[in-house]
Amino acid sequence: MSHEKPMQYVDVSASPVKSFFVTMLTRDIELEDAILDLLDNCVDGALRSKQGSNGEKPYSGFEAHIEFKKDSFLIWDNCGGIPWSLHDYAFKMGRPTTHPADTPWTVGVYGIGMKRAIFKMGKDCLISTRNGDHDYDVHITPDWIDNEDEWQIPVKASVRPKKKDGTEILVGALYPSIADRFGDDAQSFKSELERRIATHYAFIIDKGFQVTINGDSVKPRIPHLIFNEKAGGKKAPKIQPFMFRTTTDDDVDVFMAVGFTRPIPSSEEIADEQEEKRYSTIDAGWTVVCNDRAVVYCNRDELTGWGEAGIPRYHNQFIAISGIVEFKAKDASKLPTTTTKRGIDASSRLYLQIKNKMRDGLRIFTDYTNKWKGRPDESKRHIEAGTSLSFEEIKLRAGRLPFSSTKTSVPKGAQYKPELPLPVKLEPRKRRISFVKDIEEVRLVGGYLFKDVSADPSLVGEKCFDLIYREAKK
């Protein structure tokens, strides 16, 4: 019988490991997306500052500036700064349950964007911010990052007091791969970053927000749709988008529009190498917008309904078709986005329901394109009779259109299905002529025409017609 003493156990530490946040957390995000996270914070700051400002240009007066070079990265804005009431949450690794309620329409849901972006680029960061009477600095140093036991970050009064509310983030001690992109690869990196900002923030910039990269302003790339202002209907069909709108039970507003963005190209234009290159630069496909951010831009695959449930796969013949679907929610956690806020959660129940209507809209315009195949000039006249309108302008026009209820289907809401002009059926250019004659008569005529009494009767009949036709044309 054993008399050994029982094993003495001690508690196991479940404390976080700082190196995990600094290295592992940054592996699943691209550098460009990390910088967009910082821009998201700027926009959220503007939303906190404007507090429900309406109008066509609600972001007017707000701006963010990005500057990068081989040894540093800088972003600064005038978007209100980080309120002192949020400072204890802004710098935590994640989002605590005690976090104050978010300002409506902001997208900072997970509490990792700013920290992940900083750790993606370098090991030394000075964050300077002013909000009202509070003007302070937070310095994340290499020593703090390397010290697994130290989690407190000193907060000090700002060394350089700012004149306006806003935030400045300066990252140094860049990792070698980041320094290369900001240095030797600077031009291509700037072009890619500009493209992403021009698309992802297209609707925000169009509403007044200003963004510069190394001093150059970013111009928004806004999808437009053709809309014929004249009265439509079955008696006078016009080119207009298919539209759908709804508000979900948890207060997410959805508005969708899909239609033509330009004339349908001819088969010759698509086949021609130069024309194909020109057409391939045109924005086609689906853009998905969540709280003014374009989380998907001009997508042309199964994510947005192409090539599934009876919808054809995207092909250049559909280059003129474009669609926009917008989700708006005061609580951003209700939006069907991924954690990066630069993608759609394809398994979201809300998105899957709306995707049904997206396919309904695609079907209308792919069918229309097929019906006009081979007659691009006639189709072009119908499309050019309309006006190219932005998404916001389309939504304004929607208020005057006769939407019909879709309460009997999922999702419930209301839709506008346009009456599109159809090609006039062309009369067949050929006719069959057939008749019956006595065989001896056919043999006689065959011998006369072909010197062959056994000539095929169909050839005899066709020759007779050709002879009379030539006589008739004289």
Map residue 459 onto helix, strand or coil.
Answer: helix
Q: pLDDT per residue over 270-322, tens digit each?
A: 666 555 555 555 678 999 999 999 999 999 999 999 999 999 999 888 999 99
Please name which of 294, 291, 293, 311 lies closest in space to residue 302, comparing C-alpha atoms. 311
**Equal CATH topology for 18-217 and 225-416:** no
53, with CB counted inside 10 A (0-12, 13-18, 19+), is middle
Q: Which residues pair with 168 in a beta bridge?
A: 76, 128
Q: pLDDT per residue over 266-278, tens digit each?
A: 777 766 655 555 5
pLDDT at residue 367, rounded to an integer: 93
* CA angle, 323 then 350 then 260, to 5°: 10
Interatomic CA distance for residues 81 and 64, integer angstroms: 12
* CATH code linked to domain 18-217: 3.30.565.10
Q: pLDDT per residue over 4-32, tens digit each?
A: 777 777 676 666 677 777 776 777 788 99
Supply the angle between the helices 31-50 and 113-121 in degrees, to the nearest 10: 140
Interatomic CA distance for residues 60 and 50, integer angstroms: 10
Q: How confident is the model at residue 105 (pLDDT cuts 50, 70, 90)?
A: low
Q: How confident is the model at residue 109 (pLDDT cuts 50, 70, 90)?
A: very low
Domain limits of the chain?
18-217, 225-416, 439-473
Interatomic CA distance for residues 199 and 208, integer angstroms: 15
Q: Which two tokens stand for residue 77?
A: 């804005």
Average pLDDT, the chain: 85
DSSP 350-367: HHHHHHHHHHHHHHHHHH
Phi and psi at residue 426, to the nearest 5°: -80, 140
Contacts of 87 (CB under 8 A, 6+ apart): 136, 138, 155
DSSP 366-409: HHHHHHTTT-HHHHHHHHHTSEEEEHHHHHHHHTTS--EE-TTS
Q: pLDDT per residue over 401-436, tens digit each?
A: 999 998 777 788 999 999 998 887 766 677 788 889
Torsion, Cα 79 85 91 92, to 10 degrees, reads -140
Q: Select 225-416's CATH number: 3.30.310, 3.30.230, 3.40.50, 3.40.720.
A: 3.30.230
The tally of CA atoms less than 13 A away on the side-chain side of residue 103 is: 20
pLDDT at residue 257, rounded to an integer: 97
pLDDT above 80 for 331: yes
